[in-house]
């Protein structure tokens, strides 16, 4: 059975050593977080893992529902890994994907609302802030096709062309295979994203190929396939295939999803802000975006 997951780490976990050809994996502990860097280096690796050639970084932290302190060692690790994926300079658009009215899908819009927008801060206004040089950043939630009538990729492409954007960061909720990774994991990659692919509702691809500029995709898994949970808890031999097929369209999310999304959005947006504006301290950034 083909279980849904957006995490490159989970896809690699189910591959044998021979199937990992073309894939380089580095895992280490860093400041209270577990970091796994996966480099898909050729087409053979891309075919095995089902992901485009590029880098995928997973940072596993304290569960967001229990993460009351945002400025800690794991935050520093997250900000550093985002910074390593970003070009050193140039204007940036941060796009929050998803539906703010559906809690497990609200990560992107909530993150976008907490991004420190600076593109309009120039000249005398910039001098008055006392921050020195600020990287030009703009941000917006894309909404969903059913409400806007436009694909998120179309809206982002229009903004890139109109505003002269040089890098795009997308933020979206993801699907995981392992329920233990819900609300504890952040994945980032430099290959872009196909919104909705993890829950079987693929939309237009958002990547350097479609936009013409680098795309960094950041996400947190908030749902897991119901059929996966059934197998994990009951065992494959104890479950009828007909029952699994009935659950293929169902996704499960934690009871504390509201708190998880709020804290995940706050931590992720803070890490993005500090990666984009490294001269501003996390404490000052929190005050600017609260």
Residue 70 has pLDDT above 90, yes or no: no
pLDDT at 54 exceeding the cut of 80: yes
Q: pLDDT digits over 140-191, tens only?
A: 999 999 889 999 999 999 999 999 999 999 999 999 988 889 999 999 999 9
**Residue closest to 268 by CA, chosen among 67, 5, 48:** 67
Longest pairwise C-alpha distance within the chain: 70
Q: What does the pLDDT read at residue 121? A: 87
**pLDDT for 15-36, tens place per residue?**
877 678 899 999 999 877 999 9
Question: Could you give the domains of the chain?
Answer: 8-278 (3.40.50.1450)
Closest CA to 110 of 262, 289, 220, 256: 262
| Token pair belonging to 84 | 């390593």
Would you give the end-to-end CA distance of the chain in angstroms? 44
Q: Compare 19 and 37 and report the one with higher pLDDT.
A: 37
Strand-strand pairing, 137-143 and 92-97: parallel
The position carrying tokens 């050729």 is: 42
pLDDT at 38 over 80: yes
pTM, entire model: 0.90
Angle formed at CA 190 by CA 263 and CA 97, multiple of 5 degrees: 45
pLDDT at residue 45 in the model: 92
Least confident among 74-78, 89-93, 206-210: 74-78
Pairing mode of beta strands 137-143, 215-225? unpaired
Handedness of CA 187, 38, 157, 275 (dihedral sign): positive
Q: What is the pLDDT of residues 217-253, one digit of tens each?
A: 999 999 988 777 776 666 555 555 555 555 566 788 9
Is the pLDDT confidence value at 4 over 90? no
């Amino acid at each position: 059975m083909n279980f849904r997951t957006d995490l490159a780490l989970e896809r690699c976990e189910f591959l044998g050593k021979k199937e990992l050809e073309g894939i380089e994996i580095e895992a280490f502990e860093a400041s209270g977080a577990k970091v796994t860097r996966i480099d898909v280096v050729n087409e053979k690796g891309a075919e095995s893992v089902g992901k485009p050639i590029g880098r995928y970084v997973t940072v596993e932290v304290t569960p967001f529902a229990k993460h009351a302190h945002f400025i800690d060692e794991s935050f520093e690790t997250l900000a550093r890994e985002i910074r390593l994926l970003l070009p050193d300079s140039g204007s940036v658009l941060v796009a929050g994907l998803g539906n703010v009215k559906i809690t497990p899908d609200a990560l992107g819009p909530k993150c976008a609302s907490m991004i420190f927008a600076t593109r309009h801060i120039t000249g005398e206004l910039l001098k008055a802030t006392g921050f020195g040089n600020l990287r030009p950043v703009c941000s917006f939630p894309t909404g969903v096709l059913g409400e806007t009538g436009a694909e998120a990729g179309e809206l982002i492409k229009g903004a890139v062309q109109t505003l002269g954007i040089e890098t795009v960061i997308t933020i979206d909720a993801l699907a995981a295979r392992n329920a233990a990774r819900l609300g504890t994991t952040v994945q980032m990659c430099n290959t872009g994203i196909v919104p909705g692919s993890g829950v079987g509702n693929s939309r237009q691809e958002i990547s350097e190929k479609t936009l013409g500029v680098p795309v960094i995709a950041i996400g947190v898994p908030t749902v897991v396939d119901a059929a996966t949970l059934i197998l994990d808890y009951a065992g494959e031999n104890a479950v009828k295939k007909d029952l699994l097929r009935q659950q293929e369209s169902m996704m499960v999310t934690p009871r504390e999803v509201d708190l998880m999304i709020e804290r995940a959005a706050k931590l992720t947006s803070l890490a993005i802000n500090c990666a984009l504006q490294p001269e501003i301290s996390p404490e000052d950034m929190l005050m600017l975006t609260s």
